[in-house]
Structure 1
Amino acid sequence: MDAQQPTRSLETLPAELRRCLLSNLHLAQLSALVHASPVYHQQYLVDRKYLLSRSIEQTLGSVAADALFVHELETKPKVERVDAELLKRYSENASRRRLPYGNDHSQAENVDIAAFHLRYVEPLATHYAHSLLENLAGEANSDKGKHVPTASEMVRLTRAMYRFQLLCQLAGPAGRTYPNDPREDSYTALINLMEPWEVEELLSFYQFARGSYEKILNDVRWDFHEDNPRFAEKFDPQPRKGPLI
């Protein structure tokens, strides 16, 4: 009688193959695997810096330069004018089709970049893509389910989102400019680095973001309006004396 063959799984692979597998996953795939398998989770912790670097490069590709610039501006105490050398370096990196992310970034930087992408950029990019498909399907009177964004289209959408974030960082919280405001030179210089179609991508996402923002405000406007009957009862602003109950 033949002996029972041992069950084989991803966890039984040699450590070298497990490392190779982990280093070729996108961020969402990497997160799913290391949270599902104690074996891969342990190996991920041993080589976390390298694996995150590889996964960021696999996920972002040519958008890595934008993600790095977003992180760099985010970690600065205050950005009033972006240094010309910094913009030049960003321009050179962004102009490459495929920028090697490299392993010279700290583990903390990799964690921050990966977390920002997974928590904010990727979910919003998916929602943005679905919104665009709905609009296109409506104009063409077709079923949006027949259309799926390609990888290159998702790269363009993701790049537009990161660059919108860059402009927001350069503009500051108020988003206002004044005569001789140094911030205006910074984001004007940033826009001048973009190709015309990249500016169109940025404007398209801005319209989507503004429309979503206004829709949320309109949806809750009546809930907080002073004429809402729920606020008809007037309350005495002076504290009442005596027992509370």
Structure 2
Amino acid sequence: MPSPYVDELAARARTLAASGPRRVLGVAGPPGAGKSTLAEALVRALDGVAALVPMDGFHLADAELARLGRADRKGAPDTFDAYGYAALLARLRAPEHGETVYAPSFERAWEQPVAGALPVPPDVPLIVTEGNYLLLDEEPWSTAVRPLLDEVWWVAVDDGVRVERLVARHVAFGKSPSFARDWVLRSDEANARRVAPGRDRADLVVDLDAGRLVTPGRASRA
């Protein structure tokens, strides 16, 4: 992602961070769009102004997914602890004085959440969080999570590029190419279709194909 692109986004994020108490910025989009890459680049560019807390730390563990009969569609909205995620966001928005808040991460090599892995110091004015379902118009995402996000940006990229990224990711973490492609086309793409309407509800669309930032009703060159 070109530096001027990140610089423009970082400037917008700095303005958000400076506008009162701690703010929370969401980065949403379909699987494989580049949410993690953008969020990580943004936090690096902000250089101490922001902390990254991904939604993926709230994946349910495999044992619980098996108990619920949902293991074959891991990554769907109901395979996350959405209320737990919302509770953490609320705590991050209003931490106790001097409190470091610990958030979970997600270890891709194990495909499991890891509790208490991400420390968020009390003096960081902006939280950046990213995930597929931040703009999903279904409960509890729309009622428990979305109100806790000051802005949500949508990352858009060509669907063919997304699919190939996802297949390569699964292969890199030990899946066979045939299993990886079948999983992506069956599971990941079902989730992509489910979240697609969220683009129209975003505060900003980061269009990686067109190289521009789009807001409702107008566009600006990145």
Could you state the TM-score of these two structures normalised by the residue count of structure 2? 0.29
When Rg is computed on C-alpha atoms for both structures, the one with the higher figure is 1
Higher relative contact order (CA 8 A, sep 6+): 2
TM-score (norm 1): 0.27
Higher strand share: 2
